[in-house]
Structures are given as C-alpha cells and as structure tokens.
Chains A and B, each alone.
Chain A
Amino acid sequence: MNAVPMGNESATRITPGNALRPEDIALEVRTGLAKPTEDVAEYALRLGDDGLILAQRLGHWISRGPELEEDVALGNIALDQLGHARSFLTYAGGAWDKTEDDLAYFRREHEFRSAAIFEQPNGDFAATIARQFIVSYYQFELYRRLTESSDATLAAIAAKAVKEVDYHRDHSAQWVLRLAGGTEESRTRMIQGLKQMWPYVAELFQDDELTTRLAETGAAVEPSSLKADFDRLTGEILAEAELEVPDGPAAPGGGRHGRHSENLGYLLAEMQVLAREHPGASW
C-alpha cells in the first residue's frame, strides 16, 4: 500500500474550497508523499485515458451545439472529464517518472488503455447523448465505490469526480427523456444512438487480472460488480422514456490491453500533433 497519509499535510484532503487539483497530486508525487504501485498506476492510466479520450471527443461540440446552452453544458462535461483525466494521469505517471503530458502526448495508440466507448465518434447529438448516458452511469457507480478505495489518492480523485459525474448523469438522462419523448425524428435518432453505443457497454464491466488483484487489496472494485446497479438505473430511465434496452452482440473490446477501434488513431494524431512537433518544449 502506498496510500497518501490523510493528515493535515496532505494536499489531497477534501475540504470545502480546497478542491483536489492535478497540481496538488503532482506535488505529492514529486515529494514522494504519494507513489502508486505498478498495479494502481496501470489502473489509474485506464481511468485517466477514459476521461481524456472522452474530453477530446466532447470538446468538438463546443461552438457546434444545437443550442448555446449545450455548448456550455457539453463544454462543462468535457472540462470535468479532462480534470479527472489530468488527476489520474498525473498519479499514474508517479510510478514511471512521467508527467500527465508525457502520458497524453507521447504514448502511441496501443499504449492507451481507454475502453472503446470513449473513442466512439460523436455522431449526431443523440449518439453523443447515448454515449454520455452510458458513460456517466458507469462512471458514477465506479467513482462512488472508489471513494472508499484503500489507495487514498484514488479515493480523493473519485470523491471529487463522483459529484461532477452525478450532474453528467442528470444531463444525459434528461436528454434521453426529451429526445425519446420529443418528436418522431428525435425518438428515431435516440433509438439509433443507443443502438450504436450499446455494444460497447459490455467492455466497461469486464474484470481482468489487474482488477481482480486490486479488488483484493481494496484499492479498486471489480468492474463486473457495478453492472447490476448500472442496469437497474439506466433501465429506469429507459423505461420512463419508453425505450428498450438495445440487444445485439457486444463489440470485441480489448481497449484495456491496447487493442482499439479504428477511431483512436485519428483522434490521437490530432491531439498529439503540436506537442510532438516541439518535443521537450514547455507551454
């Protein structure tokens, strides 16, 4: 266990007006107050990559939303996701002497550990909402449990993230209801969006050796243990919207081990291009 001491000296303590920032984690990592085990770092990398890739996707909506209010809302969600990603990546980097930017900008595609749903293209607004609906209900259940992680840094990041993701849940659920109950066109698009994104649900709840080891130490939980709550809560919203849970085969998955869809390469090429033109530069 390499938990952060929870005394007053810890910058990751959660007190009002003292929200956890990636810079605080970087400081703890630098001064040796926090150092993740190899397993925790691998795990933090997964969660960090999920947030980063999603933020990159959502960022595209800013200035392109169907209403100004949605430019603001999707921008906010993107910012929250990016914030979580920065914290997780900073912490993960502590195991390998890497910064958040080393990890975001100088890894190659097969080194990313995000699940496939996060890299799915935005599609139309309904597809984006479908993706967000799945992701926020998953992340809420995950972070809620991680607040009790035996790893104090993971717990601190989750404590901040869970509050934000709760809003993301609300935002996406409201839109699922609105689009399903709006016009014939919006209902058709909502159904199509869910159909498009649902095959990527299964991967989110797959256990593997890493999560099993971490669950044993109490640092993380088995993804499969989140599934029942996810099914129940998303099921309630879908029922209210008079929509069916899409069936059909699950997509192959493999993102946690670096096997991605064709989409990620383009996303990374764009995200990394400038940083890679100037290796070693600071910004």
Chain B
Amino acid sequence: MEANAPHNADRQAADSQAKDRQDADGQANFDRVIAEDSRIEPKDWMPDAYRKTLLRQISQHAHSEIIGMQPEANWISRAPSLKRKAILMAKVQDEAGHGLYLYSAAETLGQTRDKMMADLIAGKARYSSIFNYPALTWADMGAIGWLVDGAAICNQVPLCRASYGPYGRAMVRVCKEESFHQRQGFEILLELAHGTPEQKHLAQDAVNRWYAPALMMFGPPDDDSPNSRQSMAWNIKRFSNDELRSRFVGMMVEQVRVLGLTLPDSEIRFNEDTKKWEHGPLDWNEFHEVLAGRGPCNAQRLERRREAHDDGAWVREAAAAYAAKQSLKTKEYAA
C-alpha cells in the first residue's frame, strides 16, 4: 500500500492533466461549432452549463406537451361533432408524440425519462404555465389552438435551428404538427364566429381569456429574463422574448380581423419608429403567481398526471417483468 501511494498520486495527477487537456480541446471544438453556427451532437464534448440548460429546457418542453394534453383531453368526450372529435383526438395524440420525441432528445443528454417524469410528478420540474388555466368551453379548443399553439410556434420555429442536434431535429417535426393545430384552432373559432350569436359569444369570451396568458408564454420582458442572454450566445435561443412577442401580436392582429373577433387589448399599435408591434401592459404578477404554483389548475394538473402514473405502475412493472422473462428465454434458447 505504502509503496504504491506515490505511484497513485502520480497517476491521479496525470489523469487530471489528461482531463484538462480533453476539456480544453472540447471547449475549443465547442466554441468553433457555435461560432460556425453548426451543430453539437450527443457524443460531442459540451460545457456542463450548456448540457444543464438544454436538459432543463427540453424536459420542460416535454412536460408542457404532456400536461398540455389535459385541458384538451377534457373536451374529447363532449366534442360537438364527430369530425371535431376526430380532429381533437388526433391533436391530443400528437401532443403525446411530441412529448415522446422531446423526452428522447433529453435522454441523449444523460437523463432517463423515468427520472424526468418523477421530477414532474414530485413538482420539482416546470412546464408551461399556460396549461394551468382551465379550458371552460368548447371555444377554448379554438382559442388554445389559435393563440396558445400560435405562440408556441413563434417560439419553436427558431428552435428548429437550435445548436443541439437532437433538439433541433425534434422541433422540425413538432413545428409541422403545431402549425396544423393552429390552423385547426383558427378554423374552430372561424366557424363559431360565423355561427349563432351564442356561438360567437363563446368564441369572443375564449379569445378574451386566452390572449394575455398566451402573450406571457414568451416569458418575462427582456430586462427581466436572466437566462436569455446565455441561451442566445449558445445559439439555443435565436430571438429575445419581447421580439417574439411583438412578432406574435402582429400576426394575431391580422388574423383576428379575418375571424371577425377582437383582441382584448386597446393599446395594440405598430410603432413606426421601431417597426415593431406593441401591446398593452401584461399582469406579470399573475404570471409569477401561476409559475409559483398558485394558478387556477396547477394542483389539479399535477394530480391527474400523478394518478395516471400511479395507476399505470403495475402495467409498466408487468411489461418489464415479461420482457425480462422473454430475454431470458431467448438466452436459454441460444445456449
């Protein structure tokens, strides 16, 4: 033991030097890839903070898809026509699919889906606050599609070019389906807005309730968004929160006219100097309250996820036990 001690110390020092060299090479390669606006892949060296940031963002995004299924799934059983029922089912199913790709993308960063799910259920992980608002009427299926998916697309299209390969590629497919969802939402509202006075009222009421929460989906104003700058430097985020929000408002202003509805914001205007759309004040206090878990449906959404997870535990155990037995049989057969 004693005689080996100096030897070990030498080896440790050598290992540590080798790691430093690897890190330095890795960092240089990473910096070059980012500077070239090219892509980082799972096996490439990456700074811990980059990995952590991405893992947080991608898993939050996956959780948002999964929790986001709930407000819409509530209306599958009551959809007012069979065609709308089919479209809604397909949409909620797409969201499960998005959750799956995104969890897979996050897994490439070294986290298991089980762990991410456990964090979600334990209330340790975040998801988009928008899904903590209730879907009260059928028209909400329209407003969620048009405004919420619309805002999500504005956020997500630039993510197709995110520097992390698996994320960017997952987003390409997600965005294609999201844009379909947005058009479906628009069409629901269009039909309602041109329907009976009662239907038109439902549509306007839903737009009134979802407008401000949708605008807040882009995140806090730029001067209050501490993580944005680093994410932009890493080519994960391409545009600032306020920039995306302004662009979104411009799109909605055009589209709401076609719907024959109005946006509940009398201060929307196009600023000729900045060439940007501006909107009225948003209640950031409410945003932070919902984010802190004090929104209208936070507890209910998590409870529903927890219940599904717990109810399904015996099924997952059975599938795992069966798979283990099958692979044992295959091995015995091979031997």
Binding site for B on A (CB under 8 A): 22, 52, 55-56, 59-60, 62-72, 75-76, 78-79, 82-83, 85-86, 89, 100-101, 104-105, 124-125, 177-179, 181-183, 185-186, 189, 270-271, 273-275, 278, 281-283
The residues of B that contact A273 with a CB separation of less than 8 Å are: 78
B185 at interface by CB-CB < 8 Å: no
State whether A183 and B76 are in contact (beta carbons under 8 Å apart), knowing that A62-B96, A63-B308, A79-B89 are contacts in the complex: no
Residue of B nearest to A189 (CB): B314
Residue of A nearest to B84 (CB): A283
Q: Is B96 within 8 A of A71, CB to CB?
A: yes
Q: Which one of B193-201, B229-237, B269-277 is at the interface?
A: B193-201
Residue of A nearest to B66 (CB): A68
CA distance A194 to B113 in the complex (A): 32
What are 14 A-B contacts with C-beta separation under 8 Å? A22-B82, A22-B83, A62-B76, A63-B69, A65-B312, A67-B316, A82-B86, A85-B82, A101-B81, A179-B315, A181-B322, A278-B198, A283-B81, A283-B191
Most B C-beta atoms less than 10 A away, residue of A79, A178, A181, A189: A178
Q: Is A183 within 8 A of B314, CB to CB?
A: yes
CA distance A71 to B67 in the complex (A): 13
B317 at interface by CB-CB < 8 Å: yes
The interface bits of chain B over 90-114 (1 if a CB of A lies within 8 angstroms of the residue's CB, else 0) are: 1011001101100100000000000
The residues of B that contact A281 with a CB separation of less than 8 Å are: 80, 195-196, 198-199
Q: Is A63 within 8 A of B322, CB to CB?
A: no
Binding site for A on B (CB under 8 A): 66, 69-70, 73, 76-86, 89-90, 92-93, 96-97, 99-100, 103, 138, 188, 191-192, 195-196, 198-199, 304, 307-308, 311-322, 325
Kindly list the 5 A-B residue pairs having the minimum CB-CB distance in the complex, ordered from nearest. Answer: A66-B312, A182-B318, A186-B318, A66-B315, A75-B93
Given A75-B92, A283-B191, 9 further pairs, Cβ under 8 A? A59-B77, A60-B76, A65-B308, A67-B319, A105-B81, A182-B317, A186-B317, A271-B78, A278-B80
Q: Is B89 within 8 A of A75, CB to CB?
A: yes
Interchain nearest-CB distance for B145 vs A (Å): 14
CA distance A85 to B86 in the complex (A): 11
* Majority DSSP secondary structure for residues of A touching B: helix
Q: Is A64 within 8 A of B198, CB to CB?
A: no
The residues of A that contact B76 with a CB separation of less than 8 Å are: 59-60, 62
State whether A79 and B100 are in contact (beta carbons under 8 Å apart), knowing that A68-B66, A177-B322 are contacts in the complex: no
Q: Is B308 within 8 A of A64, CB to CB?
A: yes
Most B C-beta atoms less than 10 A away, residue of A66, A72, A100, A278: A66
State whether A183 and B66 are in contact (beta carbons under 8 Å apart), knowing that A72-B100, A85-B82 are contacts in the complex: no
CA distance A213 to B76 in the complex (A): 37
The residues of A that contact B317 with a CB separation of less than 8 Å are: 182-183, 185-186
State whether A76 and B314 are in contact (beta carbons under 8 Å apart), knowing that A68-B99, A101-B81, A182-B321 are contacts in the complex: no
Interchain nearest-CB distance for B67 vs A (Å): 9
Query: How many A-B pairs fall under 8 Å by CB?
Result: 149
Q: Is A179 within 8 A of B318, CB to CB?
A: yes
The residues of A that contact B69 with a CB separation of less than 8 Å are: 62-63, 71
Q: Is A183 within 8 A of B93, CB to CB?
A: no
State whether A64 and B138 are in contact (beta carbons under 8 Å apart), knowing that A185-B318, A282-B191 are contacts in the complex: no
Interchain nearest-CB distance for B125 vs A (Å): 16
Q: Which listed residue, B89, B99, B188, B319, touches A78 by the CB 8 Å rule?
A: B89
Q: Which listed residue, B78, B96, B103, B312, touches A125 by the CB 8 Å rule?
A: B312
Q: Is B86 within 8 A of A124, CB to CB?
A: no
State whether A68 and B96 are in contact (beta carbons under 8 Å apart), knowing that A62-B89, A273-B78 are contacts in the complex: yes
Residue of A nearest to B86 (CB): A82
The residues of B that contact A104 with a CB separation of less than 8 Å are: 82
CA distance A186 to B314 in the complex (A): 7
Q: Is A86 within 8 A of B86, CB to CB?
A: yes
Q: Is A278 within 8 A of B199, CB to CB?
A: yes
Q: Is A83 within 8 A of B86, CB to CB?
A: yes
CA distance A100 to B313 in the complex (A): 39
Interchain nearest-CB distance for B327 vs A (Å): 13
Q: Is B96 within 8 A of A101, CB to CB?
A: no
CA distance A59 to B90 in the complex (A): 10
The residues of A that contact B192 with a CB separation of less than 8 Å are: 283
CA distance A192 to B82 in the complex (A): 33
The residues of A that contact B307 with a CB separation of less than 8 Å are: 64
The residues of A that contact B82 with a CB separation of less than 8 Å are: 22, 52, 82, 85-86, 89, 100-101, 104
CA distance A282 to B304 in the complex (A): 32
CA distance A164 to B103 in the complex (A): 28
Most B C-beta atoms less than 10 A away, residue of A125, A189, A274: A274
Q: Which listed residue, B78, B97, B188, B325, touches A274 by the CB 8 Å rule?
A: B78
CA distance A189 to B196 in the complex (A): 49
The residues of B that contact A85 with a CB separation of less than 8 Å are: 82
Q: Is B191 within 8 A of A63, CB to CB?
A: no
The residues of B that contact A124 with a CB separation of less than 8 Å are: 311
Q: Is A75 within 8 A of B314, CB to CB?
A: no
Interchain nearest-CB distance for B28 vs A (Å): 39
CA distance A62 to B91 in the complex (A): 11
CA distance A220 to B282 in the complex (A): 63
Q: Is B86 within 8 A of A186, CB to CB?
A: no
The residues of A that contact B315 with a CB separation of less than 8 Å are: 66-67, 70, 125, 179, 186
State whether A62 and B85 are in contact (beta carbons under 8 Å apart), knowing that A275-B80, A278-B196, A281-B196 are contacts in the complex: no
